[in-house]
Amino acid sequence: MKYKKIGDILILDNNYQNDDFEELSERHNVKTIMKIDHIQGTKREPVYKILYGSETETINKENGCLFKLDLAKVMWSKGNNNERLRIAKLVGDGERVIDMFAGIGYFSIPIGVHANACEVISIEINPNSYHFLCENINLNKLDNVTPILGDCKDVTPRFRADRIIMGYVKTTHHYLKVAIDSLNEGGILHYHETVPEKLMDSRPIERIVSAADGRDVELLKLNKIKKYSPGVWHVVIDARID
């Protein structure tokens, strides 16, 4: 049985047995035990089952940041914690950043805590995630993160940025042109994609070049995050758009 602990909630994988959940909760010092079956839709909403306890809201600490969330309403990807800190450390002083799929602030909060950006524009379409995004901005006492409830396809073109984060992996390429059109000259794009391993070195960058529509694209890094499914990787492309 595999598990992950988020705040004081334990998430079990699909291989759990009819365990003594009360003993399991005491051993791991958690109030609730859940199973997340899958995440569905563009609003990234969990399909879940409560195995023990009842409370699904918690506060998770990661990389010196506090994240309040309700695991019955919003997703949490524990495997991306290194990537979230990596991006925060890349943000330069005075940069304006757009986080197109902000969620509860997975990338926006670490940037606000660890970097010196002039502003982070955090766009989220799910009202539940947006609620916790606002909560987390306050919880971490940030004054340079601006939350916006809406579809990033509609909101992003209202701004120009030095860096844009596209931290969503399904159909993200449909948003590439919107993102690139809002990047300042020499701006940096962090583009997430799930890609078959045999296409890893070609498809993501080809999609960026196509969406750039004649602007020069410089590949800075291809970062492998984790296996998404057999033969498929979650990758992040860092690219400079001139």
pLDDT tens string 62-113: 999 999 999 999 988 766 889 999 999 999 999 999 999 999 999 999 999 9
**Cα(52)–Cα(110) distance, integer angstroms:** 31
Sign for the pseudo-dihedral over CA of 122, 134, 124, 47: positive
Residue 83 has a CB neighbour count (10 Å cut-off) of: 21
pLDDT tens string 114-158: 999 999 999 999 999 999 999 999 999 999 999 999 999 999 999
Residue 139 has a CB neighbour count (10 Å cut-off) of: 16
Mean pLDDT for the chain overall: 93
Residues 6 or more apart whose Cβ sits within 8 Å of residue 225: 79, 80, 83, 192, 233, 234, 235, 236
**Cα(31)–Cα(25) distance, integer angstroms:** 6
CATH 3.30.70.1400 fits 78-241, yes or no: no
Is the per-residue pLDDT at 224 higher than 90?
yes
**Cα(220)–Cα(237) distance, integer angstroms:** 8
Residues 6 or more apart whose Cβ sits within 8 Å of residue 69: 6, 7, 57, 58, 59, 60, 76, 104, 132
Q: How confident is the model at residue 170 (pLDDT cuts 50, 70, 90)?
A: confident
The proportion of the chain whose per-residue pLDDT surpasses 70, expressed as a percent, equals 97
**Cα(214)–Cα(211) distance, integer angstroms:** 8
pLDDT for res 76: 82
Pairing of β 96-99 and β 119-124? parallel
pLDDT tens string 93-104: 999 999 999 999
Pairing of β 232-241 and β 183-196? antiparallel
The verdict on pTM exceeding 0.85 is: yes
**Cα(233)–Cα(28) distance, integer angstroms:** 31
pLDDT for res 148: 98
pLDDT for res 75: 82
Hey, where are the domains in the chain? 3-55, 78-241
Query: Using an 8 Å Cβ cutoff, are 179 and 100 in contact?
Result: yes
Is the per-residue pLDDT at 43 higher than 70?
no
